[in-house]
Structure 1
Amino acid sequence: MVPALPFPEPDLPLFLLLATVLVAGVARGMSGFGTGMIVAPVAGALYGPKTALVIIVIMDSLPVIPLTLPAMRHARWREVVPVLVGLALLLPAGVAILRIGDPLMLRWVICVAILACATGLWRGVRYRGPRNATVSLTVGGIAGTLSGIASIPGPPVIMYWLASPLSHAIVRANLLVLFFLAEVLSIGNLWIAGLFERPAVMLGLAATPVYFLGLLGGWRLFGLASEEAYRRTTLMLILLAALLALPAADPLFAILGRATA
């Protein structure tokens, strides 16, 4: 008889993780992006960067299928495929950096990278250079490295596609499809790297239904406001998550933990 897997202990870190996951789900359902950039810094602060990546990959796989399947009909595959190829080529490099990197240093790198990317998106930074297969492969490669380190492939691709003549609806569909396929690739790479350890997997499974509820809520909210409103809301949530998850803010978590003990 196979022993039952232990469910994560219902403590403060788990509560903070699930609350963050719910918010990330709403943001993803509304705007098509934001999951990794919201969850990665907080989960990394609570459980470490390696566990954070496993959590995101598990919870962001099956629940997004209902969103992704309709998006596949609207996505521009000639835009998606070269970015996906570049992502697939360099995703293993990001996973290798995650495996050998110092956890504290990785947290700093992840949070600072997310803050920089979110600030650039907020200020309307866009790619203004040529648009061809080589550039798309390069953008995908950068996204793949970030995906392997922290499951945050979004910023370079968002900056690249938002500067294109594509409509917001098509960009959203492209992002949904790309991120889903990136998660599928991540599962294989993490499995090969041996990062699917039991505690991390159980945290990912515990977060999955909460994330799904958030996705449904965000999906229902989509269309009730402007695309710009969704984007600004998601970026504010990303900035807040990255700021709270900086290693410099660890004393705040410690104080909160003692207060609720």
Structure 2
Amino acid sequence: MPDFISSLASTSGLGWIILAAFMSGLTRGFTGFGTALVFLPVAAQYLPPIAAILTLTFMDVLSPLPLLRRAWGDAARVDLRRLLIGTVLLLPVGLWILGQVPQDIFRFGVSGLAIGMLVVLILGLRYRGEVRAGMVYAIGAAAGFLGGTAGLPGPPVILFYMARPLPTQVIRANTLLYLFGYDILLMIGIAGFGRMELKWAVLGVFLAVPGMLGSWIGGRLFRPGYERIYRAAAYAVIAASALSGLPIWS
């Protein structure tokens, strides 16, 4: 056991990873999204792809627990169910591809996706047509594929809710609950592929502490009337994390 703890403590870049866990929880607390967009670009600089995603998953499934009860009361549950069913369909395909990707490609891909998502959010690009049930399933499938290959299921779901005429608290609740459900599905998928590693699971549980602290603070700060301020702060954190993972710094 002492050797195991020593191995965790000597993880490369552990201080930065802990800071990223806190900031990702804070961002999620007041926006309902952003955990992977903040955490993965940093973690991918120090951990292999499957380790980064596994660590995030165990951290992520615990850190939003203080927010779930409130979110369940605010959620639009029909949308949530359709998104999760779609995710189940393509998540295994994404996980298989993840096993073939080198660390550098994963790192730069995650940062590139985060920056691309940030640009779309800032520009306010969104789908203007009618959202039908089949489209919701397809969006969930796209999220499952991206979640499996890059650990980033959020972008399709976030863009979907940008097109929905729903109150801010409903969008926040559905995004948070979807990402929680995705984490459960991802753990099942990783175990099914035989890639579950105790070291990274334990590191994720450890990181849930700063993650939960950030979520709690973010949840306390959240006020629907200050949505623009929260989004601006979240965008700044996502941008800093994504830029840190680009090859321009190597």
Q: Same fold (TM over 0.5)?
A: yes
Question: 1:23-69, CA deviations, whole angstroms, 9 ceiling, x for partnerless residues?
Answer: 11111111100000111111011112211101110011123122112
Which residue of structure 1 aligns with residue 26 of structure 2?
26
Question: 1:5-40, CA deviations, whole angstroms, 9 ceiling, x for partnerless residues?
Answer: 722125660001001111111111111000001111
Deviation at 1:235, TM superposition (A): 1.5
Query: Does the Cα contact within 8 Å between 1:118 and 1:155 map onto a contact in 2?
Result: no
- Helix, strand or coil at the partner of 1:125: coil
Query: Does the Cα contact within 8 Å between 1:53 and 1:149 map onto a contact in 2?
Result: no
Which residue of structure 1 aligns with residue 147 of structure 2?
147
Q: Distance in 1 between matches of 2:64 and 2:11?
A: 27
Larger mean Cα displacement after TM superposition, 102-111 or 112-121: 102-111
Change (3 A) 1:51 1:12: closer
- Helix, strand or coil at the partner of 2:99: helix
Query: Does the Cα contact within 8 Å between 2:59 and 2:211 map onto a contact in 1?
Result: yes
Which one of the candidate residues 1, 4, 7 is aligned to 1:6? 4
Matched AA of 1:61? V
Query: Does the Cα contact within 8 Å between 1:115 and 1:239 map onto a contact in 2?
Result: yes
Which residue of structure 2 aligns with residue 96 of structure 1?
96
Deviation at 1:226, TM superposition (A): 0.8
**Structure 1 length normalisation: TM-score?**
0.89
Which residue of structure 2 aligns with residue 130 of structure 1?
130
- Helix, strand or coil at the partner of 1:200: helix
Mind listing any 5+ residue stretches in structure 2 that lack a counterpart?
A: none
Share of identical aligned residues, percent? 31
- Helix, strand or coil at the partner of 1:226: helix
Q: Distance in 2 between matches of 1:10 and 1:22?
A: 19
Query: Does the Cα contact within 8 Å between 2:27 and 2:33 map onto a contact in 1?
Result: yes
Which residue of structure 1 aligns with residue 118 of structure 2?
118
Q: Distance in 2 between matches of 1:144 and 1:30?
A: 24
Q: Distance in 1 between matches of 2:240 and 2:62?
A: 27
Query: Does the Cα contact within 8 Å between 1:45 and 1:246 map onto a contact in 2?
Result: no
Matched AA of 1:198? L
**Is 2:191 the counterpart of 1:191?**
yes
Deviation at 1:129, TM superposition (A): 2.8
**Is 2:169 the counterpart of 1:169?**
yes
Which residue of structure 1 aligns with residue 35 of structure 2?
35
Matched AA of 2:166? L
Deviation at 1:134, TM superposition (A): 1.3
Q: Distance in 2 between matches of 1:241 and 1:148?
A: 20
Deviation at 1:77, TM superposition (A): 1.1
Deviation at 1:149, TM superposition (A): 2.2
Q: Distance in 2 between matches of 1:224 and 1:178?
A: 20
- Helix, strand or coil at the partner of 1:142: helix
Deviation at 1:204, TM superposition (A): 1.1
Matched AA of 2:244? L
Larger mean Cα displacement after TM superposition, 37-46 or 107-116: 107-116
**Is 2:79 the counterpart of 1:79?**
yes
Deviation at 1:4, TM superposition (A): 6.3
Query: Does the Cα contact within 8 Å between 1:86 and 1:139 map onto a contact in 2?
Result: yes
Question: 1:128-157, CA deviations, whole angstroms, 9 ceiling, x for partnerless residues?
Answer: 233111111111111111111232211111
Which residue of structure 2 aligns with residue 230 of structure 1?
230
Q: Distance in 1 between matches of 2:126 and 2:93?
A: 26
- Helix, strand or coil at the partner of 1:100: coil
Q: Distance in 1 between matches of 2:54 and 2:239?
A: 22
Query: Does the Cα contact within 8 Å between 1:31 and 1:230 map onto a contact in 2?
Result: yes
**Is 2:42 the counterpart of 1:46?**
no
Deviation at 1:227, TM superposition (A): 0.9
- Helix, strand or coil at the partner of 2:129: coil
Matched AA of 1:6? F
Kindly tell me the number of residue pairs found equivalent between the two proteins: 248
Which residue of structure 2 aligns with residue 208 of structure 1?
208
C-alpha RMSD over aligned residues: 1.7
Matched AA of 2:238? I
**Structure 2 length normalisation: TM-score?**
0.93
